Structure formats: C-alpha cells, structure tokens
Amino acid sequence: MQNSRFKNIPEITEALWLRLKESGLPIHSFLAEQGGTLLKEAYEAPYTAMDLHRMFSITKSLCSLATGFLYADGRLSLDDRIADYFPEYCSCGEIHPWLKEMTIRHMLSMETCHSSTTYKADTSKNWVESFFTTPPSHRSGQIFLYDTSSSHTLAALVKKLTGKGVLDYLREKCLDKTGFSKEAYIILDPFGSEMGGSGLMARPTDLLKLGRFCMDTLKKGTGKFADYIREAVSFKVPTIHFGQTTDEQQGYGYQFWRIRNGFAMYGMGGQYVLFYPDLDLVFVVTADTQNMKGGNQKILDLIHDAVKKILDQPEQIWNPEGPRSWDASYRLFANPGGFSRLSLSFGPAEGALALSGPDSAFHIPYSFHTQTISILEEYKQRIAVQGMWAGPDTLYLPVQIAGECVGSIHFLLRLSDERVTVWMKKIEETYFHEFQGFLEGVKE
C-alpha cells in the first residue's frame, strides 16, 4: 500500500469482524475491501456466500445510479418535472402546483411534496399512480423526508425510458462488467412495477463489487456520469431532524446517505455499503436488526471506531452557517394546527420564533451558543432551546420540554426571501398536537 499508516487495515478489519460477532447482533455477513483487494469475507448461519439477501433500501441507490446514466446519456435532466413523464396519472383534473413543480432532483434528494410513502396508505391501488394522486403536504424541494414512493417512481421512470428494469439497465451499463450475479433481481409490486425503494435481492459480494465500481468512478472517473456520482454522494440536504442514528444525521445526497468520514447505501434491518474515500475502503454488512432497538447504531459505531483507528484527521461533519440576521413575518396557509402567522427574528447570538392563531400564541426564544430556558406559556411548561444551522438556509430548533410533560418539539425552517416552509414534530404522549406536520407561508 502506498501509505504506511494503512498497513494495519487488515488487522483492524479482522478485529472489527470479531467485535461484530461478539456484539450479540444478528449479523449475516461482513465483507471488506480496499483498492480492489479483498480484506475479509465472512458469513453467519443461516446465510452463505451463495444466498440472495433482501437489501431493502439499498435498492434506492441503484435507482440513483440508473438515473445518473440516463442523465449522462442526455435522456433526462435532473430539473425535469416528474409529472411530465407520467401524464397518464396527471390528466384527471387540475394537478396541484406543489406536485407539478416537483423535479427529478427533488425526488433524488428526498425533498418531495409528500410527508410519507404514498402507496402505504392503500397498497391495493397502483403504487406508482399513488405518487401523483396523493394530495401533497408541502412544497417540493424544501425539506428532507424519507419517501420510498419517490424511489419506486424513479424505477418506473427507468422502465418507461429504457424498456428495461433497473437491474437489467444497470447490467448493460456497468453491472455485467463487475461480475454482479445473474441471479439477483428486484421484487415486483402487486401491479408489476419494480420495488425501486426496497426490493433488491442480491448477494453481499454483489454489493462489494458495486461498491468498488462506485468508489473507482468517484476517484478516477471522467465524464457526466462520474460528475453525477460525485454530486450524488455529496451533501445535498440536511437530515439532522430525521436521522435515527448519528450517521443518519450527517445529510443526504441523491439516494445516498452521508456518514462520518464518508457516504453509504442504507437498507432497513442493518444492510449497509459503507464508503470511506480517504482510505479507498468499502465495507458491506447484512443483518437483521429489526427487532433490536439501537442495533443499527451499534453496527455503525463499531465500524466508525475501527475507521477512527486508521484515520489521523477529524471527523468530516457538515457544519454550515446561515444568515447573520433575520426579521420577518409570514402569513401562513391553512394548516391542521390552526396557525395563521409566523414571525422569526435572530441576530448572530440569539433569536425568537413566534406562532399565533385565533386561539393561541406561542413565543419560543433560543440561542445559537447555549440553551435558552423559558416558559411555553400556553402549556405552562419549561422549555430549553439551542438553535443550529442544518444548511445555509435551514434553521433547526429542537425544543426540550421539562416539567410534568417530558419530551421534545422539533422545528425545521427552510427560509427564503419570500416564503417559509416549516416541518414540525412533537415527541410527547399527551399534548402539543398542534406542533405536528407542515406550515407553508408567504412574507407579509
């Protein structure tokens, strides 16, 4: 290896495998390679090297790669409106402008106008069609929320433009050259469309080969597809309000997650392809943590601790800054919480958020440097808030509740000169129901 400090990677990788085995987690496989050299390949019963494994949301990253090839070949633009490709689902009545304005780029970065996966509301109806007929909850391109129907629709777009499923199209473009198994497939939904958000059945070695292709393209590739890969794995949208693990709070690209010191493909239940570009290192893990609270965090922490032993640099964490000052009031559109007006002000050190409606008014002060403690008057509960910038125009306000009620309220505000989009979530069992969902407003 070119750098002498990397010589201990095989030993650290072996020790990592032993720690994963001893963790008590149901690990099914662990693979590692660096620069194309296999460092470790291990399996636990009942899985073997030949078994196809459900990879769940890793499928999303394959949809991103297929979209990237279509972009590189000039068959679509990332700023094309998705509704234009599916007129069969958009011709019955006037399409909502928030849906009409949604682009392929919004779908890739999980900034759709939907607050959740659309087809889960009624799986007996066409899953792709549901993406276009479900009423939107907010403007597209504003807030990250995990929307598997977005990836499902991207897979349908690949089929519409190429006549091939995502895997068959990728086999033609890159997978056959990597040795990706012929037996791999993507499960179909009840209406014959590939489950582009969760349906991949493949071998762990397939993911390792795909991981090496992505890493080599990132580091050495040229042309429009390589440029797309570099964009896809970079920070595009904050996820600090959404992520369930430390790594999931590092941001999102185009159907790829950012993680500490790298990026990743993620699948439910502990399916991971983890990339560390500075080390030219790829890890693959398959598991089933669905019934183990904190299992994913444990896997990621064990791997992160191993990587830290190799790296001699600080963690690469997105730490943006926002505007130095702000003072604006917004008229809010109709919303379930009944709020009609939002005011936001801040300077370099502190600020305040105010929400009001016909029957209520809330004033929430905060600081950027420490916890600001106050009383949420409507509920007579003590709160503490320290604001932070999740992106250059995205303010995150986590509100801790301390009193008879114990919990939190989370605000993520996407700011622009003329409009505001606010995502709200309350985590408390009894009260604070008005702080749930989205607010859209225009500057007064």
- 121-169: pLDDT as tens digits: 999 999 999 999 999 999 999 999 999 999 999 999 999 999 999 999 9
Are 322 and 393 in contact by the 8 Å Cβ rule? The answer is yes
CA angle 105, 150, 421 (to 5 degrees): 65
- Convert the pLDDT of each residue in 392-434 to its tens digit: 999 999 999 998 999 999 999 999 989 999 999 999 999 999 9
Are 349 and 369 in contact by the 8 Å Cβ rule? The answer is yes
DSSP H or E stretch at residue 228: helix 224-232
State mean pLDDT over 380-395: 96
Alpha-carbon gap, residue 12 to 115, rounded angstroms: 41
Alpha-carbon gap, residue 345 to 372, rounded angstroms: 15
pLDDT score of 316 = 63
Nearest residue to 293 via CA among 6, 24, 2 = 24
- Convert the pLDDT of each residue in 234-285 to its tens digit: 999 999 999 889 999 999 999 999 999 999 999 999 999 999 999 999 999 9
Nearest residue to 355 via CA among 240, 436, 242 = 436
Query: Any idea which residue has 């500057």 for tokens?
Result: 443
pLDDT score of 323 = 94
Helices (H), 284-360: 295-310
Q: What is the DSSP string of 370-391?
A: SPEEEEETTTTEEEEEB-EEEE
Are 203 and 52 in contact by the 8 Å Cβ rule? The answer is yes
DSSP H or E stretch at residue 394: strand 394-402
- Convert the pLDDT of each residue in 222-233 to its tens digit: 999 999 999 999
Alpha-carbon gap, residue 145 to 242, rounded angstroms: 7
Joined tokens for residue 12: 């650290």
Alpha-carbon gap, residue 421 to 143, rounded angstroms: 8
User: Given pLDDT bands bounded at 50, 70 and 90, which one contains residue 317?
Assistant: low
CA angle 61, 298, 185 (to 5 degrees): 30
Joined tokens for residue 350: 């502190």
pLDDT score of 432 = 97
- Convert the pLDDT of each residue in 52-80 to its tens digit: 999 999 999 999 999 999 999 999 999 99
pTM for the complete prediction?
0.94
Alpha-carbon gap, residue 333 to 324, rounded angstroms: 27
Domains of the chain: 4-310 (3.40.710.10), 326-443 (2.40.128.20)
pLDDT score of 5 = 58
Are 238 and 248 in contact by the 8 Å Cβ rule? The answer is no
User: Given pLDDT bands bounded at 50, 70 and 90, which one contains residue 1?
Assistant: very low
pLDDT score of 73 = 98
Are 281 and 32 in contact by the 8 Å Cβ rule? The answer is yes
